Chains A and B, each alone.
Chain A
Amino acid sequence: MTSDHAADMTSDHAVDIDKHVRVYITVFVALMVLTVVTVAISYLDLAVPLAVTVALLVATIKGALVAGYFMHLVSEKKLIYAILVVTVAFFVALIALPLLTTSNGYWIEE
């Protein structure tokens, strides 16, 4: 089993990998730029709601790049996507629902 798999690896995948490596370098540069951007913006002293939104937006883009390209999520199988979608749904519930039950949430009548 070991030798024929090793042979499989060389042919078509070596070409794929070269393309991938170019993507990795591009993503790395993008991540560096976005890091500088997010730190720079923090010096602008924006109002808290705006600062939070922008910071989380930049972080989400960076996170999406890492997840999509380094973790290969852009080309993953459906099963993995399904597991992650369910997880994200519960993650959102965990963040949102307790917040809504506090007196700082929006839907509380006094």
Chain B
Amino acid sequence: MSETTGVAPPQPHVAHEAHHEELGFWRKYIFSTDHKVIGIQYAVTGLLFLLFGFGLMMLMRWNLAYPGAALPLIGGLFGDARMPGGTMLPEFYNELGAMHGTIMVFLGVVPLAVGGFGNFVLPLQIGAPDMAFPKINMVSYWCLFLGGITMLGSFFVPGGAAQSGWTSYTPLANIAGTGQTWWLIGMIFLITSSLLGAINFITTTIQLRAKGLTFMRFPFFVWAQFVTAFLLLLAFPPLEAAGVMQLMDRVAGTSFFMPEGLVVSGQVLTNAGGGNTLLWQHLFWFLAHPEVYVLILPGMGIVAEIIANNTRKPLWGYRSMVYSLVFLGFMSFIVWAHHMFMTGMGTAMAAFFQTTTMIISIPSVVILTALIISLWGGSIRFNTPMLFALAFLPMFGIGGLTGLPLGLNITDIPLHDTYYVIAHFHYVVAPGTIFALLAGIYYWYPKATGRMMNETLGKIHFVGSFVCMNLIFMPMFIIGMAGVSRRLFDAGTAYDFAQPTMHWNVVSSWGTWALAVFQIPFIVNFFWSIRRGEKVAENPWHATTIEWSAPSPPPHGNFVAAPQAYRGPYEYSVPGAAKDFVPQYEAS
């Protein structure tokens, strides 16, 4: 018996606004412990970093389309150390590439998908007044902020930001410039942020769900965030350990990852040696594989909610989707070395990782198939969130299917580290996850602001983005299959076999710049609608999940009276019901 008991009945969740002394500006908007404010802070930060990371790529795409050409107008802004005479140096390309990856993954997608949507929607969707640990929630955001500042600051140190890929492989990263040290410190802040967030999400989901909200009555979005939190909790610490060891190698001269007698620029290094360079790869990918599921699962959760709502039908195969999700989460921890097939692990271990990788594709396919079948016989409403959600399905399909030859070690041999890999993972994250996140913004914007975003601008945003995404990434499969390596600053100009595919880089680049233009209607819409969007009440989408019972926007404490769940999350088109939806929170 280890616990002090005293089981009191749960307190009614009364909006306490009238009883609190009015908090000052700083406590209300900057150092807030309210999950909704923190969620918006994460979302805005994530969106800004997505834009910045996109900017880095737009620069890179210049040298890929027109290798060696001077960049007109803005080329002179980057100084002689990076773009002498407006032409890109390879080191600058590497800096842009490493930081593009790092920023998009750790400062863009995860803060928006998990920190933003998770924080804002999850407590509302389970009928909770806030997260279980509001102060820790606030700390987790500020850790992210510090990590972001560190990463941005690293551009200004001598030698520039990290340049050894977002994967920071040793021994290259060990001998890289100061920016790499900043990268490692930045990562420690970001990892801390995610760990604290994960603890909050898991505890909140288990403990603070409303009366009647059993696990199998959770909206799929809640399940997705729940599993994602476990991935973050258990997969990040090994990367933190690896980061500490790489810091020790760089700053204290240890040889965790350094062999003896490494020759750099003609000089033999004098470190003690005896380290294991592949150790870094194991520890990095132990995190980075579950990380890709962190990138996709919240998106699947968002798409599931929007599809159920806009087909006016329950999700098909909810139970299978949940079991698949949990199974996928578990399997994601034992597939990582499919990123290391070329490291000489021997056929037995390659076979092991190939097998687990093939097995993990099954739950992914189950979830995708269930979402597709959910459309059958639905009364589909083609609003902007639904358009993005619908597009997610084939885009994720392409991304997922093209992962299969990468996961089989024989076919990985010619494809490893080529543009094929870039195309594969961008399909899943860019027209995959990012489309899902955009869908989520259009969908939950009215809950957060009390106003709808403009549909016309939304549809322009959608059509332009969809076309451009495919223009950018589809040619990369072709380039990759021709054998062109990734991370070449000039797209392979020096290689004969790359010549027939060079023109595709021009297509991808113009697609990228056009994609940027098509984000303008979104950005304008986002800000314009705050003041001028159509005003709505609690449930403009006629949705069934609990967040739609709260006022738009919800007050501190969220609900006027404690919600209760009376049924499953997707009771749409129930035969005999008065409306085409019966909300989860409405007593019969």
List chain A positions with a Cβ less than 8 A from chain B.
1, 4-5, 8-9, 13, 16, 20, 72, 75-76, 79, 86-87, 90, 93-94, 97-98, 100-103, 105, 107-109
Contact = CB atoms under 8 A, between A and B. Distances in A.
Interface in B192-239: 206, 230, 234, 238
A72 B337 contact: no
A103 to B, nearest CB: 8
A5 B6 CA distance: 6
Given A76-B2, A108-B349, A109-B348, 19 more contacts: A1-B6, A4-B6, A5-B4, A8-B5, A8-B6, A16-B1, A20-B1, A90-B333, A93-B333, A94-B238, A97-B337, A100-B352, A101-B282, A101-B343, A101-B349, A103-B346, A105-B349, A108-B348, A109-B346
Contact of A8 (B4, B330, B348): B4
Contacts of A108: 345-346, 348-349
21 contacts: A1-B6, A1-B8, A8-B6, A16-B1, A20-B1, A79-B206, A87-B234, A90-B333, A93-B333, A97-B337, A98-B278, A101-B349, A102-B276, A102-B278, A103-B346, A105-B346, A105-B349, A107-B346, A107-B348, A108-B348, A109-B346
B286 interface: yes
A9 to B, nearest CB: 6
B489 to A, nearest CB: 32
Contacts of B345: 101, 108
Contacts of B1: 13, 16, 20, 75
Interface string B328-353: 00100110010010010111110010
Nearest to B347: A109
A20 B1 CA distance: 9
B431 to A, nearest CB: 31
Nearest to B290: A90
A20 B345 CA distance: 50
Interface residues of B, number: 27
6 closest Cβ pairs, A-B complex: A72-B2, A108-B346, A101-B345, A5-B6, A107-B348, A98-B282
Given A4-B6, A9-B4, A108-B346, A98 B234 contact: no
Contacts of B2: 72, 75-76
Interface in B267-309: 276, 278-279, 282, 286
Nearest to B8: A1
Contacts of B337: 97, 101
A57 to B, nearest CB: 25
A13 B234 CA distance: 35
B346 A93 contact: no
Interface centre among A98, A100, A102, A108 (most CB of B within 10 A): A98
Contacts of B238: 94
Contacts of B276: 102
Contacts of A79: 206
B206 A94 contact: no
A18 to B, nearest CB: 12
Interface centre among A13, A75, A90 (most CB of B within 10 A): A90
B206 A101 contact: no
A86 B276 CA distance: 28
A94 B234 CA distance: 11
Contacts of A98: 278-279, 282
Interface string B1-15: 110111010000000
Nearest to A100: B349
Nearest to A76: B2
Contacts of B340: 101
B462 to A, nearest CB: 39
B4 A13 contact: yes
A5 B8 CA distance: 9
A90 B333 CA distance: 7
Interface centre among A9, A20, A86 (most CB of B within 10 A): A86
A57 B306 CA distance: 53
Nearest to A4: B6
Nearest to B281: A98
A79 B234 CA distance: 16
Nearest to A79: B206
A105 B282 CA distance: 15
A85 to B, nearest CB: 11
Nearest to B234: A90
Contact of B346 (A1, A97, A101): A101
B234 A97 contact: no
A94 B345 CA distance: 15
Interface centre among A4, A16, A94 (most CB of B within 10 A): A94
Contacts of B347: 109
A83 to B, nearest CB: 8
Nearest to B334: A93
B68 to A, nearest CB: 41
A101 B333 CA distance: 16
Nearest to A73: B2
B285 to A, nearest CB: 10
Contacts of A93: 333-334
Contacts of A101: 278, 282, 337, 340, 343, 345-346, 349
Contacts of A87: 234
Interface in B348-390: 348-349, 352
B279 to A, nearest CB: 7
Nearest to B282: A98
A2 to B, nearest CB: 10
A27 to B, nearest CB: 14
Contacts of B333: 90, 93
B310 to A, nearest CB: 35
Nearest to A16: B1
Interface string B148-165: 000000000000000000
A77 to B, nearest CB: 9
Nearest to B330: A86
Contacts of A103: 346
A94 B242 CA distance: 13
Contacts of B234: 86-87, 90
